[in-house]
Structure 1
Amino acid sequence: MMQAVIDRIVEGKHAVVLIGEDEVEKIVPIELISDNVNEGDWIEIKIDNDGNIISIEQDTQSTKGTKQRVKNKMELLRKRSKRNK
């Protein structure tokens, strides 16, 4: 399994997924992805040697961690902004 992130959802039909550290882009039919997955969410994706998707699972732990890091950074930036006024 490889870690990937949902970069964007196009017209409700396809998800653009960035796979691995190199962020290899793959377009995935939306019906292969869980209904409650959104842009920015992390998934675990398994691909065979021919590039076909075998399975996709939500990675809620990574998604929560990323969202918390972004929230913390935004709070830090807001505090800095208030001090500089």
Structure 2
Amino acid sequence: MSVPLVCLVTCGESLSELIALEALKELGDSVGLCPLTAITRGVPEVIGRIKNAKHIILLDSCSLRCAKKTADELGI
């Protein structure tokens, strides 16, 4: 998969992920889903996409803010 202009980072199996998946149907290849679980597991393909994307949108599903904290820890 090529590097999308925008990566949507969401919590897995959450309402935010379901919304992002529906949005991707309309937005095409310029936007890609970068699952938080893949980021925390260090999946190279996803880490590369998120580090090279022009924009990152974090969609935290609750007040724990796991997506933001993880991105901060990785320097994204």
Per the normalisation by structure 1, the TM-score is 0.25
Structure with greater strand percent: 1
Structure having the higher helix fraction is 2
Bigger CA radius of gyration: 1
